[in-house]
Amino acid sequence: MKIKMKKVSFNKIIKRHTLILCLAITLSLISGFSFSQNPADFSGKWILDNSKSSPVFANTTSIINITQEGNKIDLEIAQNQKDAKPTVKTVNYFIGASIGSANPFKKNPNHKETTVTMEWGPDKQSFIIKEIKTVFAEKEKPKESTNIKVYSLIDGGKTMTIKSDDTLPAGSVVPENERHTLMVYNKAK
């Protein structure tokens, strides 16, 4: 019995092995990418740590209850500042969305328009809320203010930080030292 050997060129062998190697590398990168890109879970009760937060929050108590389902993040924020009435507000975010409010009364020259965008940070261990407000007043140039808040988890999810940066129009009454703030929250046990 004679066995016939098929003649295969060296170039074909190299091409085939290179293709298999590229496929294996691509698959390993895709699987590694999906594991590292799972968004952080911000769910839980968070209590403000005044000693680690910006001085402007020294006389503030704040508790944030967060419920998160994938890209939907709901916050219930209870705050009490010295010499002020306690407040509770609920905020709903959907990461990846952009919402805006325009003036429904176009004839009114005095109005405000707001646009809010929400997105995950590059490592998905943070989310970013960007709010742009434009105030239109009769016989004046529109005035725009921007607030960017970055919510991040650190210490293995035991601590949440909220960095807030405001860009305000000239003549704003908010002092410069209160335009860039840090709030540090500890997760309740």
Q: What is the pTM assigned to this prediction?
A: 0.72
Please determine, for residue 21, whether its predicted confidence score (pLDDT) is greater than 70. Answer: no
Please determine, for residue 20, whether its predicted confidence score (pLDDT) is greater than 90. Answer: no
Q: How far apart are CA 109 and CA 135, in angstroms?
A: 10
User: How many other C-beta atoms are found inside a 10 Å radius of the C-beta of residue 111?
Assistant: 16
Q: How far apart are CA 27 and CA 41, in angstroms?
A: 26
Lowest-pLDDT range of 18-22, 70-74, 173-177 = 18-22
Average pLDDT rounded to a whole number, residues 20-28? 52
Domain residue limits, the chain:
8-37, 44-187
Sequence-ordered strand ranges (E) for the chain? 44-48, 60-69, 72-81, 87-94, 98-101, 111-120, 126-136, 143-154, 159-167, 180-187
Cα first-last separation, the chain: 78
Distances (CA, A) of 36 to 80, 124, 153: 38, 9, 15
Which residue has tokens 């091409």?
15
Tens digit of pLDDT for each residue in 28-85?
A: 444 444 445 688 999 999 999 999 999 989 999 999 999 999 999 999 999 998 888 9
CB 114 within 8 A of CB 132: yes
Tens digit of pLDDT for each residue in 73-124?
A: 999 999 998 888 999 999 899 999 888 765 555 555 566 788 899 999 998 9
Per-residue confidence (pLDDT) for residue 167, from 0 to 100: 86
- Please tell me which residue, 175 or 74, carries the higher pLDDT value: 74
CATH class of residue range 44-187: mainly beta
DSSP reduced 3-state for 149? strand
Q: What is 82-130 written as a DSSP string?
A: TTS--EEEEEEEETT-EEEE--S-TT-SSEEEEEEEEEE-TTSSEEEEE
Please determine, for residue 8, whether its predicted confidence score (pLDDT) is greater than 90. Answer: no
Per-residue confidence (pLDDT) for residue 150, from 0 to 100: 96
Tens digit of pLDDT for each residue in 140-153?
A: 788 888 999 999 99
Which residue has tokens 């960007």?
130
